[in-house]
Structure 1
Amino acid sequence: MTVLTTRALNRATLARQMLLERADVPVLDAVAHLCGLQAQEPQEPFTGLWSRLRAFDPAVLSDLLVRRQVVRTHLMRRTMHLVTAADALAWRARHDAMLRQKVLGVYRADLAATDLGELAAAGRELADGGEPRTMAELGRALAERWPAAGPRALGEMLVAGLVPTVQVPPRGLWRAKGGARYVPLSSWLGREIDPPAPDGTDPVGRELVRRYLAAYGPAATADVRAWSGAAGLPGAVAAIRDELVSFRDERGRELLDLPGAPRPDPDLPVPVRFLPAFDNAILGYQDRGRIIDDEHRGLSVAGERVVLVDGRAAATWNDKDGAVTVTPLRRLSRSDRAAVAEEGRALAAFLSDGETDRVEVAASPA
């Protein structure tokens, strides 16, 4: 069986993630291809798409949110994701059990005496009852009936675990500020979520695996599970195994992939790319070594934005008033520093709507 080196996996990931070269595709198609973008921080998906799309216009993504073609909702790993409306409707039921269990993992003692079926019914009626509400407002209203549980546990279980909800604009619009206010997904989109298959098969799980491999492969079954968080995906992988090709990584793990998916030359030169916080190009794997060194793995869950040099996390970055500051994680060559500065200037201009292209690259660590 062919062994794919870490560098080969890196180049494949960059190609699938539109980070090898910027893609010339519509924003909605990019969001769909990427299986959504992680979006705890409302502005981060804009940087994620700027780094992936040629001539990206942030107003287009804002318009898609306003027109309800993309939504912000709890989905993979119980994290807030920006996904297409079609994927939210198709995938939510497949993630229901995981979402409930993850919330219960935090609030099990608080909710021990609460009938979750009754809570879901009361919460849906409440959430459907008028203007969008914050999680805190919903929790306080529910606490009148379940005072022992407490508003925080009730609110989070409702919006993240029991009733499929979306965060509505202006939350998530370009350069707009707005609190996280929720309405039911079905109300927002005017359509009920797709139900599970009645015959016990798992067509959604199989499609999730195919979509994941298209955007993240080659990958192990453990990587698929780490990306989604949903249970039962090994069964979905087994059901479509005849469609897939197999490799091994340098650790001996079996990797699966779609037959015609790109696997570029490992020695292919790659451009500098700036990734937003919590980007799924890093978080979408159980083994994140194809992008980030083990010693820096904690950055990926701490909300640090990273700069890819030769396809790997080589620096962190931040911005204030549109100016971009880069802090190297390792020694950068003169040419690498120049490439980082050039891409940083372009990013600064994007973030400031063209008002500045100021960038500062700090000294490399000794």
Structure 2
Amino acid sequence: MGETVRDRPGTGATGGEVLTRRALNRATLARQLLLRRHALPVADAVHGLAGLNAQNTEPPYLGLWARLDGFRPGDLETLLHERRVVRGCLLRYTQHLVTAEDFTRWRPVLQPVLDRVQRSAFGRRTAGVDLAELAARTRETLRGRTLTRPELGRELVRRWPDHEPSALAWSAQYLVPMVHPPPEGLRGRRGGRTPMALAEDLLGEPPPEPDPEALVTAHLAAFGPATVRDIGAWSGMTRLGEVVDAMRPRLRVLRDEAGTELVDLPDAPRPDPDTPAPVRLLPEFDNLLLAHRDRTRVLPDEYRSKVIDGAAHSPTVLVDGFVRGTWGLDRTDDTATVVVRLFAGVDDTVQAEVRDEAHRLATFAAPEAREHGVTLHRPRVPPGTGPVTSRWATD
């Protein structure tokens, strides 16, 4: 059970269990399969993780490798070909890999978010277009077909010749549930035009009635305990307070050390905060770092600017469950080197663990390379001083 501290004057707590930041960290790591590697079927992992951010092709493979024992890229590729896992526009209106069942359930819930994005990003460029007609024409055009976005735009502009094909096609993607079938999502795919198909054609299921409680439950199972604002930050949805209030009799109410209310599933894991957490190297935009409005349960504020720079989001190194560095992969014709940059000093045992995990990652990320290596940058700490992050020792 999570670490408890007694309510203190000024915290705003009203009684009940109070979880420290470390307790929240361990609860989330347990649900994100990051306290150990698990021997799970890939589809079960994708569902349990509440999907994988898939803005780029490689991160889902790296994210599953960090979490699953013996993960093979072909296992995920098979699921994509079988349409048991699909890639499409979902959470935070970005591309995600999710199970087919989760896409079918979640997309109707997220439709208001995607409608809002269409208005914000393409409202002016589609002025005068009846959006309901655009959605209907898109369904008619795509029925039984797979088109790239430019191809879809060229079809739609026949009806609206005074508008940009790209604006029509992007709007259609937000307005109509679509998935991007293989070769999209396959490991090693670089560039190329994105194939688009109607979700109901490929998945064979008509969209159900929106069930926002299902999305809240998925977030808590994968990332909880959480605040209502955390769930909103992950999903892009608003007005979730009413949904959570309706679910409250079935939820457990907790608090953080500041007295902020958290909700959780009653039987979800909340391990002892002293549970060991192994070193892990996570890909860019891993959902672990994007699932909460308050990211400090994983990413300390003092390191935020080192990881997030505008729209860029670096791959990260977890040490003792918290972000303590970033990494990148340097490739040449024959070699692949994982370059790790730690933000603070660590002892020799942790350095060895970082090296071992980084070397395994190099082998997984670049199996074609003849040589795999690790370069570790760490703060040089002068005697008698704290960590110095502007000067680096390298080996």
TM-score range, shorter chain: over 0.9
> For the residues of structure 2 that align with 1:38 and 1:361, how far apart are their CA atoms?
27
Gaps of at least 5 residues in structure 2 are 1-15, 380-388
| Alignment match of 1:254 (pick from 250, 257, 261) | 261
Query: Counterparts of 1:203-282 in structure 2 under 5 Å?
Result: 204-282=211-289
Which residue is equivalent to 2:179?
Answer: 166
State the shift of 1:306 in Å. Answer: 0.5
Gaps of at least 5 residues in structure 1 are 197-203
Which amino acid is 1:262 matched to?
P
State the shift of 1:99 in Å. Answer: 0.7
Q: Tell me the matched-pair count.
A: 357
State the shift of 1:121 in Å. Answer: 1.3
Secondary structure in structure 2 of the residue aligned to 1:358:
strand
> For the residues of structure 2 that align with 1:169 and 1:120, how far apart are their CA atoms?
24
Which residue is equivalent to 1:314?
Answer: 324
Secondary structure in structure 1 of the residue aligned to 2:61:
helix
Which residue is equivalent to 2:114?
Answer: 99
Which amino acid is 2:269 matched to?
P
> For the residues of structure 2 that align with 1:112 and 1:154, how far apart are their CA atoms?
11
- Contact 2:86/2:97 (8 A) holds in 1: yes
Secondary structure in structure 1 of the residue aligned to 2:253:
strand
> For the residues of structure 1 that align with 2:255 and 2:204, how far apart are their CA atoms?
45
Structure number with greater Rg is: 2
> For the residues of structure 1 that align with 2:158 and 2:260, how far apart are their CA atoms?
52
Secondary structure in structure 2 of the residue aligned to 1:73:
strand
> For the residues of structure 2 that align with 1:57 and 1:171, how far apart are their CA atoms?
18
Which residue is equivalent to 1:200?
Answer: none
Secondary structure in structure 1 of the residue aligned to 2:27:
helix
> For the residues of structure 1 that align with 2:273 and 2:216, how far apart are their CA atoms?
24
Secondary structure in structure 1 of the residue aligned to 2:295:
coil
Which residue is equivalent to 1:48?
Answer: 63
State the shift of 1:354 in Å. Answer: 7.0
Which amino acid is 1:312 matched to?
F
Which amino acid is 1:247 matched to?
L
| Alignment match of 2:197 (pick from 166, 183, 186) | 183
C-alpha offsets along residues 117-162 of structure 1, whole Å, 9 cap, x if unaligned? Answer: 11111122222263x2222332233233324432222111111x11
State the shift of 1:328 in Å. Answer: 1.8
C-alpha offsets along residues 54-106 of structure 1, whole Å, 9 cap, x if unaligned? Answer: 11111000000001100001011101010000111111111111111112111
C-alpha offsets along residues 253-300 of structure 1, whole Å, 9 cap, x if unaligned? Answer: 101111221112222221101111111111011111111122433534
> For the residues of structure 2 that align with 1:278 and 1:62, how far apart are their CA atoms?
20
Which residue is equivalent to 1:353?
Answer: 367
Given the alignment of the two structures, is residue 305 of structure 1 paired with residue 315 of structure 2, yes or no?
yes
Which residue is equivalent to 1:141?
Answer: 155
Identity %: 43
Secondary structure in structure 2 of the residue aligned to 1:314:
strand
Secondary structure in structure 2 of the residue aligned to 1:315:
strand
Which amino acid is 1:302 matched to?
A
C-alpha offsets along residues 295-332 of structure 1, whole Å, 9 cap, x if unaligned? Answer: 43353451311111111111111113342111222333
Which amino acid is 2:189 matched to?
A
Which residue is equivalent to 1:29?
Answer: 44
| Aligned CA distance change for structure 1 residues 296 and 147 (closer, same or farther; 3 Å) | farther
> For the residues of structure 1 that align with 2:86 and 2:241, how far apart are their CA atoms?
28
- Contact 2:343/2:378 (8 A) holds in 1: no
Secondary structure in structure 2 of the residue aligned to 1:323:
strand
C-alpha offsets along residues 226-267 of structure 1, whole Å, 9 cap, x if unaligned? Answer: 111123432221111111112111232101111221112222
C-alpha offsets along residues 11-43 of structure 1, whole Å, 9 cap, x if unaligned? Answer: 111111000111111100000111111100111
The RMSD of aligned alpha carbons is 1.7
Given the alignment of the two structures, is residue 292 of structure 1 paired with residue 299 of structure 2, yes or no?
yes
- Contact 2:149/2:193 (8 A) holds in 1: no
> For the residues of structure 2 that align with 1:105 and 1:295, how far apart are their CA atoms?
33
Secondary structure in structure 1 of the residue aligned to 2:372:
coil
Given the alignment of the two structures, is residue 13 of structure 1 paired with residue 20 of structure 2, yes or no?
no
Mean Cα displacement is larger for which, 47-56 or 143-152? 143-152
C-alpha offsets along residues 173-195 of structure 1, whole Å, 9 cap, x if unaligned? Answer: 12234532111111112222223
Which residue is equivalent to 1:123?
Answer: 138
Mean Cα displacement is larger for which, 321-330 or 277-286? 321-330
> For the residues of structure 1 that align with 2:198 and 2:214, how far apart are their CA atoms?
25
> For the residues of structure 1 that align with 2:41 and 2:374, how far apart are their CA atoms?
29
Mean Cα displacement is larger for which, 120-129 or 181-190? 120-129
Secondary structure in structure 2 of the residue aligned to 1:226:
helix
TM-score, length of structure 1 as denominator length: 0.92
TM-score, length of structure 2 as denominator length: 0.86
Which residue is equivalent to 2:164?
Answer: 150
Given the alignment of the two structures, is residue 63 of structure 1 paired with residue 73 of structure 2, yes or no?
no
